[in-house]
Amino acid sequence: MAEMVRKSSSDEILNHWILAGSCILLIITGFAFLFHLEFVGSVFGGFNFMKTVHNWLGVVFILSLFYSMRHYLKDALEYDDDDVQWFKVAGGYLSHKVKVPPMGKYNPGQKLYYLAIVVAGIAIALSGFGIWLLKGNTTVMLLSHLVHNVAFCIFVIAVPVHIYLGTLANPGTFQIMVNGMVPLETAKKKYPKWIKAVGKM
């Protein structure tokens, strides 16, 4: 057995799947409201119950988003010259021939993804609570409705990109969200600055 290093803790993995599960169900039920998808409604026994599910999934989602901050926020706020260079070569995604600069635990694409999810997540949750609880105020309702839908558009674009990059586009990555482990040799190549920082290289 090749030597493995732990990239994600088990509470991080559990929280990720709560975040991902609630987020994806929110997206599906959100689309059902937007486009009157009756077949989705019938899975929940009608739109009335689906609305209740959607509201409470929002609570689960925002709680797990806040909890995720202890896993990613610090990393996501730090950028260096290699991160700038990473963007110049588009992370190596547009050609396998370019030289990708050495990365830390997360590449800047992931870090910005995280920040986008935090910002859009807080916006979509606050506006969701606005529509749910502040029904009496027209300005709040209309503004919330608008913000909720702008944030929704960010989610339906950012999340599938993330899923593709975390699975098909980067074989082996998905395992990080299953058992948290990466082979040390792989980690040395993909996240050299992180491996150096934890003293394994």
Partner 1 sequence: MANDKNRKAILVTPEDCIGCRGCQVACKSWNQLPGIKTKNNGTYQNPPDLAGAAFNIIRYNEVPSTENPVRWLFVSRRCMHCDDAGCMKICPAPGALYRTAEGAVAFDRDKCIGCKLCVNACPFDVPRYDAENKVTKCHLCFDRIGAAMQPACVKTCPTGALKFGDRAELIGTAKKQGFKTIYGEQDLGGLGTIYAFKDEPKLYGMKENPTIPYSVIFWHTYLKPLSVIGLGGVVAAAAIHYLAIGPHKEKDEEV
Q: Which residues pair with 4 in a beta bridge?
A: 183
- Taking only Cα atoms into account, the Rg of the chain, rounded to an integer number of angstroms, comes to 19
7 near ligand HEM (CB under 6 A): yes
Of 147 and 182, nearer to ligand HEM (C-beta) is: 182
Site residues (CB under 8 A) for partner 1, limited to 33-92: 33-36, 38, 41, 47-48, 51, 92
* Residue 93 binds: one of partner 1, ligand HEM, none (C-beta under 5 to 8 A by kind): partner 1
* In the complex, least distance from residue 157 CB atom to partner 1, rounded to whole angstroms: 4
Q: Does 9 bind ligand HEM (CB under 6 A)?
A: no
H or E segment to which residue 47 belongs:
helix 47-76
- 199 is a contact residue toward partner 1 (CB under 8 A): no
Question: What residue has token string 């963007």?
Answer: 87
* Dihedral sign, Cα of residue 146, residue 40, residue 47, residue 52: negative
The answer to whether the beta carbons of residues 68 and 113 sit under 8 Å apart is no
Instruction: Give, as ranges, the residues between 172 and 191 that touch partner 1 (CB under 8 A).
Output: 172, 186, 189-190
86 binding ligand HEM? (CB under 6 A): no
Q: Which of 29, 32, 62, 110 binds ligand HEM (CB under 6 A)?
A: 110
Q: Which stretch binds partner 1 (CB under 8 A): 1-9, 70-78, 80-88, 137-145?
A: 137-145
Q: In sequence order, what DSSP letters do the residues of 8-37 get, joined into one string?
A: S-HHHHHHHHHHHHHHHHHHHHHHHHHHT-
Contacts of 124 (CB under 8 A, 6+ apart): 58, 147, 148, 151, 152, 155
Q: Residues interacting with ligand HEM, by CB under 6 A?
A: 7, 16, 19-20, 23-24, 68, 72, 106, 110, 113-114, 117, 159, 162-163, 166-167, 173-174, 176-177
